[in-house]
A and B are shown apart, each in its own frame.
Chain A
Amino acid sequence: DAGVIQSPRHEVTEMGQEVTLRCKPISGHDYLFWYRQTMMRGLELLIYFNNNVPIDDSGMPEDRFSAKMPNASFSTLKIQPSEPRDSAVYFCASSLVHPEGPEAFFGQGTRLTVV
């Protein structure tokens, strides 16, 4: 398997624009996570899905953030409108829930810069 695939790797956008980040999880994994990493706040869990259903979105910072998982092989994280404070690295990760292998595997991340 190719692992978790995120796109784009880098995104530079102007304040107020819509940004869409994409993620393809590892085939067969039933959990998908979106994390945000900043120097100030570390790694924050934004939202996660189980079998394509959002389970906990309490980490989504504002209504400007939304996430979808229309099928088992694709998820998006959208920011509309974007603001400079949204600049961060956004990671997607996927996992199983199994006592012998519940670790999450991360994509390469999307480095978002909002100017």
Chain B
Amino acid sequence: AQKITQTQPGMFVQEKEAVTLDCTYDTSDPSYGLFWYKQPSSGEMIFLIYQGSYDQQNATEGRYSLNFQKARKSANLVISASQLGDSAMYFCAMREAPWDGGGADGLTFGKGTHLIIQP
């Protein structure tokens, strides 16, 4: 079963607009983490933001915020004031992990969203 679903294969957005990239996940584990990564055309995987399943507040990192809706099992990435340099593939990922020291899984990735920022 697919654990991470990203329903937007591609998006075109005007520069300076806000962008929301969708991500839904599936897990029965109460302890997990949700992540977003950016992959520009150069190919490297860049970590953007992390949300833990027990975190009460939505994570924020500069222009990035994660809209975490636990009951709906969604973890959308919001990019405020988009820039041309934001054009890239964006991947949502999940990791099931008991933070109390037990074994953790690897990160499972969605198929990605190709975001293109237009001037």
Number of A residues with CB within 8 Å of any CB on chain B:
24
Interface of B is mostly: loop
- Chain B: how many interface residues by the 8 Å CB criterion? 25
B104 near A33 (CB under 8 angstroms)? no
Q: For chain A residues 50-66, which have a beta carbon within 8 Å of chain B? A: 50, 55-56
Task: Name A's B-contacting residues (CB within 8 A).
Answer: 31, 33, 42-43, 45, 48, 50, 55-56, 89, 91, 93, 97-99, 101-106, 108-109, 111
Say whether B99 contacts A99, CB under 8 Å: yes
Known contacts A43-B109, A45-B107: A103-B50 contact under CB 8 Å: yes
Contact of B99 among A43, A89, A98, A108 (CB under 8 A): A98
User: When the two chains form their complex, are residues B33 and A89 in contact, meaning their CB atoms are under 8 A apart?
Assistant: no
B residues near A97, Cβ cutoff 8 Å: 97, 99, 101, 104
Q: Which of B40-48, B66-74, B78-86 lies at the interface? A: B40-48
Q: Within the complex, what minimum Cβ distance (angstroms) separates A69 from chain B?
A: 14
> Is the pair B104, A31 in contact by a Cβ cutoff of 8 Å?
yes
**Minimum Cβ distance to chain A for residue B76 (Å):** 18
Does residue B25 face the partner (Cβ distance < 8 Å to A)?
Answer: no
List, sorted by A's number, 15 A–B pairs whose CB atoms are closer than 8 Å.
A33-B106, A42-B109, A42-B110, A45-B106, A48-B106, A50-B104, A101-B50, A102-B33, A102-B52, A102-B95, A103-B47, A103-B50, A104-B95, A108-B43, A109-B43
